[in-house]
Amino acid sequence: MKTIDDFNFQNKKALIRVDFNVPQDDQLNVTDDTRIQAAKPTIDKILKDGGSAILMTHLGRPKGGVEDKFSLKHIASKVSEVLGVEIQVAEDVIGEDAKSKAVNLKPGEILLLENVRFHAEEEKGDKEFAKELASLGDIYVNDAFGTAHRAHASTAIIAEFFPNAKCFGYLMKQELEAIDKVLKTGDGPVTAILGGAKVSSKITIIDNILPAVDNLIIGGGMTYTFIKAQGGDIGNSLVEDDKLDLAMDIIKACDEHDVNLYLPLDNVIADKFSNDANTKIVAVNEIPDGWMGMDVGPETNLEFAEVIAESKTILWNGPLGVFEMDKFAKGTISLGEAIAKATEKGAFSLVGGGDSVAFVKQYNYDEKVSYVSTGGGAMLESLEGKELPGVAAIMN
């Protein structure tokens, strides 16, 4: 795996694909700079070597052409603040302004190109567009794990024009090593916790990780497809009726791979999908009509915590309940606490996927786990065993 540590950037222009697709408020101020912070070590190393940095990123989903609200000029001051360097902003990604600013960039300076998605050629993976981008720099650095699963011009195609001068940034290296730890190199017992609504969205992950894990914990809405498949009563809980056979296949596959499968024992049920609903705790397979499962119960929290306490490598993707409502966040909080304790005792813990990442940030567990992935879709596709175009382009 070639990383920026394999290059000296003195008097070189590093063309870096970063992921600065950051959230903004109505005034277009950046509300969370995590992704900018994540790219800082890579940019710092390049500048310290005596090189300069040309940054490429997308922001939002512009619908063909230039849209002011998606212009990178709105995030430039936050990027400057985080990186501690006054940055220049190009009027476009390619063209005269971008070229002249790139040519005149001096060591220690940073140029931020305009939103790459203002050009339709970016998402089409257009070779000529990639070639024009490539002409701006000497070395290509991919540090955008969040877009590594896309075969876009700036994430994959561009690497062809740097046959001997392409590498991963520190963020990409960390992401790939974290996933590798879960799937290949981590100490056992390895425990995967999968939550969320649908079995169908997790089946390829389950298929791919079963040979690598010792324990599989299932939570969230997909619990009830498993419980119904086994003949339990689930009331009005979320269920995928067309996936009952699939749930039974997963139970059988766990048995064949000697993987311990843990489903909730009890759950908090509600008479409506609301924070002010009436609630009670019942066995997970004894939910009366008119009631729905919203969170795991206390017995389940204890059992899951025991499994996690014995684990040396932990993957967590998806909450155990509807944590957005305080009343149904206890199970996910208990899980976060158990993973934090195991991590403190030396376990490696990887958290990824939109809802899990949102949870660990909201409840301040992001500093208490080993690694929080910055790339939802890219991480999930890695766990599914798919080759990511942005990764393959550097490795090949």
Q: Does 356 belong to an annotated binding site?
A: yes
pLDDT for position 355: 82
Nearest partner of 129 among 105, 160, 101, 150, judged by Cα: 160
Pairwise pLDDT comparison (158 vs 199), residue with the higher score: 158
Q: Does 17 belong to an annotated binding site?
A: no
For residues 103 and 192, state if they share a domain. Answer: no
Q: Positive or negative, the Cα torsion across 177, 183, 185, 189?
A: positive
Last residue in a domain, options 147, 168, 189: 168
Domain that holds residue 320: 175-383
Query: Tell me: the pLDDT tens digits for 264-309?
Result: 999 999 999 999 999 999 999 999 999 999 999 999 999 999 999 9
Query: Tell me: the pLDDT tens digits for 218-247?
Result: 999 999 999 999 999 999 999 999 999 999
Query: Tell me: the pLDDT tens digits for 26-76?
Result: 999 999 888 999 999 999 999 999 999 999 999 999 887 888 899 999 999
- Helices 330-344 and 298-309: angle between axes, nearest 10 degrees: 20
pLDDT for position 279: 97
pLDDT for position 384: 85
Q: Which residue has the tokens 């550097």?
A: 394
| 3-class secondary-structure state, position 90 | coil
- Measured distance CA(227)–CA(222) in Å, rounded: 9
Q: Is residue 388 part of a domain?
A: no
Q: Is residue 293 part of a domain?
A: yes
CB-based contacts of 378: which residues, under 8 Å, 6+ apart? 145, 146, 147, 148, 149, 175, 388, 390
Q: Does 273 belong to an annotated binding site?
A: no
Query: Tell me: the pLDDT tens digits for 302-354?
Result: 999 999 999 999 999 999 999 999 999 999 999 999 999 999 999 999 998 76
- Measured distance CA(44)–CA(29) in Å, rounded: 24
pLDDT for position 242: 94
Extract the tokens encoding 238.
Answer: 């979320």
Cα 209 to the chain's mean position, in Å? 17
Question: Which residues are known to be catalytic?
Answer: 35, 198, 354, 377
Q: Is residue 391 part of a domain?
A: no
Output the CA–CA distances (angstroms, integers) from residue 270 to 124, 300, 321, in the order listed: 46, 17, 12
Last residue in a domain, options 122, 149, 168: 168
C-beta neighbour count of 194 within 10 angstroms: 23
For residues 145 and 248, state if they share a domain. Answer: no
For residues 164 and 179, state if they share a domain. Answer: no
Nearest partner of 336 among 318, 312, 322, judged by Cα: 318
For residues 119 and 186, state if they share a domain. Answer: no
- Measured distance CA(263)–CA(286) in Å, rounded: 14
- Measured distance CA(277)–CA(77) in Å, rounded: 45
Q: Is residue 101 part of a domain?
A: yes
Q: By mean pLDDT, which of 155-159, 190-194, 254-258, 376-380 is the weakest?
A: 376-380
Average pLDDT, the chain: 94
Q: Does 84 belong to an annotated binding site?
A: no
For residues 146 and 205, state if they share a domain. Answer: no
Last residue in a domain, options 168, 199, 216: 168
Q: Is residue 186 part of a domain?
A: yes
CB-based contacts of 156: which residues, under 8 Å, 6+ apart? 125, 150, 389, 390, 392, 393
Domains: count for the chain: 2
Q: Does 5 belong to an annotated binding site?
A: no
Residue 350 near residue 365, CB atoms below 8 Å = no
Pairwise pLDDT comparison (11 vs 1), residue with the higher score: 11
Extract the tokens encoding 269.
Answer: 């049920």
For residues 85 and 183, state if they share a domain. Answer: no
Q: Is residue 389 part of a domain?
A: no
Q: Is residue 390 part of a domain?
A: no
Q: Is residue 392 part of a domain?
A: no
| 3-class secondary-structure state, position 67 | coil
For residues 180 and 295, state if they share a domain. Answer: yes
For residues 239 and 118, state if they share a domain. Answer: no
Cα 9 to the chain's mean position, in Å? 29
Q: Does 49 belong to an annotated binding site?
A: no
pLDDT of 203 strictly over 90: no
Length of the chain: 396
DSSP letters, 289-341, are TT-EEEEE-HHHHHHHHHHHHT-SEEEEES-SS-TTSGGG-HHHHHHHHHHHH
Q: Does 388 belong to an annotated binding site?
A: no
- Measured distance CA(123)–CA(103) in Å, rounded: 26
Q: Which helix (H) or strand (E) holds 110?
A: strand 110-112
Residue 263 near residue 303, CB atoms below 8 Å = no
- Measured distance CA(383)–CA(387) in Å, rounded: 10
pLDDT for position 193: 95
Query: Tell me: the pLDDT tens digits for 72-115?
Result: 999 999 999 999 999 999 999 999 999 999 999 999 999 999 99
For residues 216 and 278, state if they share a domain. Answer: yes
* Average pLDDT estimate for 106-126: 95
Q: Which residue has the tokens 């001997």?
A: 164
- Measured distance CA(220)–CA(216) in Å, rounded: 13
**Model-wide pTM > 0.75:** yes
CB-based contacts of 72: which residues, under 8 Å, 6+ apart? 20, 57, 59, 89, 112, 113, 114, 115
pLDDT for position 77: 94
For residues 158 and 243, state if they share a domain. Answer: no
What pLDDT band is residue 118 in, cutting at 50, 70 and 90? very high
For residues 197 and 105, state if they share a domain. Answer: no
* Average pLDDT estimate for 181-206: 90
Q: What is the CA radius of gyration of the chain?
A: 23
Residue 150 near residue 354, CB atoms below 8 Å = no
Q: Does 297 belong to an annotated binding site?
A: no
Q: Does 286 belong to an annotated binding site?
A: no
CATH number, domain containing residue 28: 3.40.50.1260
